[in-house]
Amino acid sequence: MREQRPRWAQAGWLSVVTGLLMLTPSWFMFEVYGRVLNSRNAATLGWLLVMVLGVYVVLELLDVVRARLLHKAGEAIDGRLRARLFDVAFEANLRRQPGGTTQPFTDLRTLRDFVSTPAVTAVLDTPAALICLALLFAISPWLGLLALTGAGLQALLALLTERRTMPLLTEAQRASIQAQTYAASSLGNSQVIESMGMLGAIHARWMRLQRRFLARQAEASDYGGLSATLARLVQTMQSSMLLGAACWLMLYNNLWGGAAMLIIASILGGRVLQPLAQLVGQWRLVVGVRDAYGRLDALLGKPPENDAHMPLPAPKGQLSVEAVLAGAPGSPLPILKGISFAARPGEVVGVIGPSACGKSTLARLLMGIWPAAGGKVRLDGADVHAWKKDELGPHVGYLPQTVELFDGTVAENIARFGDVDIDRVRAAAELVGMADVIEALPQGYETRIGTDGAVLSGGQRQRLGLARAVYGEPRLLVLDEPNSSLDEAGEKALLQMLQVLKSRGATVVAITHRTTLMPAFDKLLVMNDGQAAFFGPRDEVLAALKKANEQARAQMEAARQAAAPRAALPGGAA
């Protein structure tokens, strides 16, 4: 906003000039009732008409110039914030922080459009209104005081409107955001809702949120409408009161300028109140923009992260996890509790463990998606989280537990929406065993897959996600449940892919619940309650697990026998 001060200043000066030129009708009336009627000179009237019409043309041109200045200011604000807003909103969504939705973009559009609204022009017209007030005081102090009283009433109305409607509009906006977010989430799970007959309950909940929004907005609109009506009433009444007061002053010879001054005083009084009346009428918009600005300021006011950094060389794949403590962003509960392990280039580390033991959280930390609360995840000695992602990204591959694809072609999704190198795209597809499937599609690699890969099966989506992960021969790959949707042929292709990656010297961390990938693992990490229960070479860990299970079964059997009732002894003793 500060960068647009030159445009604000230009628009303000234009508003002052247009405000002065808006006095032309009053001046014209004064001249007609005075000079023209007294002299009965038609030529004077003609020249006055020409001058007035010329001023009107200049007024419209200046208004167009001011509107273009404001529009350009709005576009400049949008252009200045748009790129950074996308990055910050993306980061907030990644960290599960407020602002991680599409609401910031709606707020930016609200701020951009507001610049060209009557509310802004009303503020810019305030200096002209003050000039009109000064002229009224010059004509008669009594008329000036009357106009000032009307302006005070308008200001009081604006203050009362702000105090009454602001909480209602803020709550309405919050309810609207909740309803939109809930609707978007529900539409994203439409198949689940349809299959299990959840539509009625989902619809009812959305309607409750929508009714809450509409109720608060309606209440605020009622107060806003009442205030706008009262503002117009004050403006209309003051116009008549100024006319009457000017007439009264003239009757007692306390007003100069003749009969024309009656109407001039009324016009000037209307100009004094016009900006305030416009602001009261636009108050709901003003409150909405203020809330939007507050949210944007809170989101963009934080200093950007990871801006200052040294360029790092391409990694070789030496992975080190050092006593990492971590939880979900925004949650105080720890998920990972001091876990440590390491992997060298050319090794495949398998990660197993019960549900909710922190395996997916570990995957996010290995990729630098979530920060560690303690300890470090290092790749070739560098902190993965601090490594700028557009530099690290080409050297890593990630398959999340839920494969997320994007609306575009198969080739674009595999190439991560960068420049499509079709040879590398085909190589990635062949590596995951999907080349034949892609070539059988209607347009092969140029087939558009729709939002989230809607035209593909679950197994095809997972394979496409794998192809995206291995694209460009990355040095570190983290695969979260890579075989969860694969059939027997898919798992066979996955095992072959892991062998190829090992031969290339890539470091692979594969999280799985199935034992079919076990032959490909060099090391095995067994997790339990956010900790590393076992870690080491696969066969040694499997032997340790077997021994631990046997000991656990022996202890359970011993405890069972100890708890069993002993046989009754002779004589009735127990």
Residue, of 351 and 165, whose pLDDT is higher: 351
pLDDT at 200 over 90: no
| CATH code, domain carrying 362 | 3.40.50.300
- Nearest-angstrom CA–CA distance, 505 and 500: 9
Last residue in a domain, options 235, 265, 300? 300
Residue 278 and residue 327 in one domain: no
Bridge partner list, 536 = 524
pLDDT (0 to 100) of residue 494:
92
Residue 274 and residue 324 in one domain: no
Residue 277 and residue 382 in one domain: no
Q: What is the pTM assigned to this prediction? A: 0.66
Q: Is residue 424 included in any domain, yes or no?
A: yes
> What are the structure tokens assigned to 385, written together?
């989280």
Residue 283 and residue 389 in one domain: no
Tens-place pLDDT, residues 30-88: 777 767 777 777 888 888 888 888 888 888 888 888 888 887 877 787 777 777 777 77
Q: Is residue 308 included in any domain, yes or no?
A: no
- Nearest-angstrom CA–CA distance, 428 and 410: 12
3-state secondary structure of 22: coil
Q: Is residue 333 included in any domain, yes or no?
A: yes
Tens-place pLDDT, residues 296-343: 877 776 655 545 455 778 889 999 999 999 988 878 888 999 999 999
**Site of tokens 């009261």:** 280
Residue 338 and residue 255 in one domain: no
CB 143 within 8 A of CB 246: yes
Q: Measure CA 180 to chain center.
A: 13
User: For the chain, what is the domain count?
Assistant: 2
Residue, of 497 and 224, whose pLDDT is higher: 497
Residue 120 and residue 183 in one domain: yes
- Nearest-angstrom CA–CA distance, 574 and 479: 59
Residue 271 and residue 407 in one domain: no
Q: Give me the domain span that covers residue 331.
A: 319-558
Banded model confidence at residue 573, pLDDT cuts 50, 70, 90 = very low
426 burial via Cβ count (<10 Å: 0-12, 13-18, 19+): middle
pLDDT at 344 over 90: yes
Residue 167 and residue 256 in one domain: yes
Among the residue ranges 328-332, 395-399, 445-449, 523-527, the one predicted with the least confidence is 328-332
Q: Is residue 532 included in any domain, yes or no?
A: yes
Q: Is residue 214 included in any domain, yes or no?
A: yes
What is the rounded average pLDDT of the residues 273-291?
72
**Site of tokens 């009444």:** 237
pLDDT (0 to 100) of residue 567:
46
495's CB contacts (< 8 A; 6+ apart) are 516, 517, 519, 520
CB 92 within 8 A of CB 99: yes
Q: Is residue 544 included in any domain, yes or no?
A: yes
- Nearest-angstrom CA–CA distance, 478 and 401: 11
Whole-number mean pLDDT of the chain? Answer: 81
Banded model confidence at residue 511, pLDDT cuts 50, 70, 90 = very high
Most distant pair of Cα atoms in the chain: their distance = 145
| CATH code, domain carrying 171 | 1.20.1560.10
65 burial via Cβ count (<10 Å: 0-12, 13-18, 19+): middle
DSSP 316: -
353's CB contacts (< 8 A; 6+ apart) are 359, 526, 527, 528, 533
pLDDT (0 to 100) of residue 299:
76
Q: Is residue 349 included in any domain, yes or no?
A: yes
What is the rounded average pLDDT of the residues 378-405?
88
Residue 241 and residue 372 in one domain: no
The full length of the chain comes to 574
Tens-place pLDDT, residues 94-133: 666 554 466 778 788 887 777 777 777 777 777 878 888 8
Q: Is residue 313 included in any domain, yes or no?
A: no
CB 523 within 8 A of CB 350: yes
Phi, psi dihedral angles at 233 (to 5 degrees): -65, -45
Residue 380 and residue 486 in one domain: yes
pLDDT at 354 over 50: yes
Radius of gyration in angstroms for the set of CA atoms belonging to the chain, rounded to a whole number: 37
Tens-place pLDDT, residues 407-455: 888 999 999 888 889 999 999 999 999 998 999 888 989 988 877 666 7
For 407-481, where are the alpha helices, taking DSSP H only? 410-414, 422-431, 435-439, 458-470
Residue 445 and residue 401 in one domain: yes
pLDDT at 463 over 80: yes
pLDDT (0 to 100) of residue 391:
87
Residue 282 and residue 369 in one domain: no
- Nearest-angstrom CA–CA distance, 547 and 556: 14
Residue, of 559 and 334, whose pLDDT is higher: 334
